[in-house]
Amino acid sequence: MKQVKVKAYARAGVDVDLGNVVKSGIQALVRSTHGPQVLGKIGGFGGLFRADFGKMKDPVLVASVDGVGTKLKVAFMVNKHDTVGQDLVNHCINDIAVVGAQPLFFLDYVAAASLEPPVFRQLLTGFAKACRAGSCALIGGETAQMPGMYQAGEYDVAGTIVGVVDRPKMLDGSKVRVGDVLIGLPSTGLHTNGYSLARKVLFETMGLKVNSRLPELKLPIGEELLRVHKNYQPLMASLPDGLLHAAAHITGGGLIDNLPRVLPKGTQANIRRDSWKVPALFQIIEAGGKVDPLEMYQVFNMGIGMVLIVDKKRQAETVKLTRGKVIGEIVEGDQTVTII
């Protein structure tokens, strides 16, 4: 029997042939996100997107890049990877939705010590699913084998999104006024922030396992932590023109650090913590880790994944359209957030 010679690069930890095999099986997944705007073939040096801005008067491109943080550690523990793929896309879409943008295309970056085809396919399945749901084309990416940089069985992911907004409709916070109200849209869990603290409390301090069940939660703790980060852009895009004065995606920094990013000078946001029921998972983390209540609002979304700022006269209309909750108001102040 002829012995197959292992290539030098593969002996060094980078199997180019395996990489080609893995990537060759993803064409159908990627193509499922494409519309007529996507040109060229998969696997080229760059993704091609023929933009059509329709009736926009002054189209402005909006770009963002992000990751999913140490939520990946939970994915490794549970050995489930499609949901973090969805998380990455949805997080990026939300980050540009807050300026009123609609997504155009997305690119991913996956790096690992060595490629594991089943894991890679789960990730791509998640990317593609979220891109289809978000009307966003997956037009390219990078898969890097980097032995010595990552622990066996682990990887990192990042994503870049590009969208567009018509400048007259752009949300930049300039319309926010004293007297406006804050409408909170519910999150689907921790989304993609606060996982370093959550993991320390749940798995180290409390000694839980990913399959542990708590009476307050519907799913095992691992599955609760892997709930998919919600995409709010379709709902926001469906709202009447001019309704939104501003919007804030509640990510790292929680309500305390994210809302000031859209507050004009001379204003502040007062949030009433009793205006919504904080989901059980956050309460478990707070009690289990003896975390200061105020710090919780600076680390986690506390059950509010997106905040919309609207004129008080349109409060009832907004609540009806979004099924959100009025959680506070804009008052005079110094561009800070007060939890009361």
Q: Which residue has the tokens 């600076």?
A: 298
Question: Taking the complete model, does pTM exceed 0.85, yes or no?
Answer: yes
Mean of pLDDT values over 158-185 = 97
Whole-number pLDDT of residue 110: 95
Q: Look at 89-103, 142-156, 295-309 and tell me which has the smallest mean pLDDT.
A: 142-156
- Residue 213 CB neighbours (<10 A): 14
Confidence of residue 4 (pLDDT cuts 50, 70, 90): low
| H or E segment to which residue 139 belongs | strand 137-145
The CATH number of 181-339 is: 3.90.650.10
Whole-number pLDDT of residue 27: 80
Confidence of residue 23 (pLDDT cuts 50, 70, 90): low
Whole-number pLDDT of residue 36: 92
Tens of pLDDT along 244-290? 999 999 999 999 999 999 999 999 999 999 999 999 999 999 999 99
Confidence of residue 28 (pLDDT cuts 50, 70, 90): confident
Question: DSSP character for 189?
Answer: S
Residues 6+ apart with CB under 8 A from 119: 81, 112, 155
Give Cα 41 distance to the centre of its chain.
Answer: 28
Tens of pLDDT along 213-234? 999 999 999 999 999 999 999 9
CATH 3.30.1330.10 fits domain 8-169? yes
Determine the Cα–Cα distance for residues 229 and 5; give it in Å rounded to an integer.
45
Q: Select the more confidently predicted residue: 23 or 166.
A: 166
Confidence of residue 161 (pLDDT cuts 50, 70, 90): very high
How would you label 105-137 residue by residue, b for 16+ Cβ within 10 Å and e otherwise?
bbbbbbbbbbbbeebbbbbbbbbbbbbbbbebb
**Does the pLDDT at position 2 exceed 90?**
no
Mean of pLDDT values over 7-28 = 65
Do the two domains 8-169 and 181-339 of this chain adopt the same fold? no
Whole-number pLDDT of residue 254: 97
Determine the Cα–Cα distance for residues 173 and 247; give it in Å rounded to an integer.
8
Confidence of residue 209 (pLDDT cuts 50, 70, 90): very high
- Residue 57 CB neighbours (<10 A): 9
Confidence of residue 8 (pLDDT cuts 50, 70, 90): low
- Could you tell me the residue ranges of all domains in the chain? 8-169, 181-339
Q: Which residue has the tokens 């002054």?
A: 58
Whole-number pLDDT of residue 12: 60
Percent of the chain with pLDDT over 70: 93
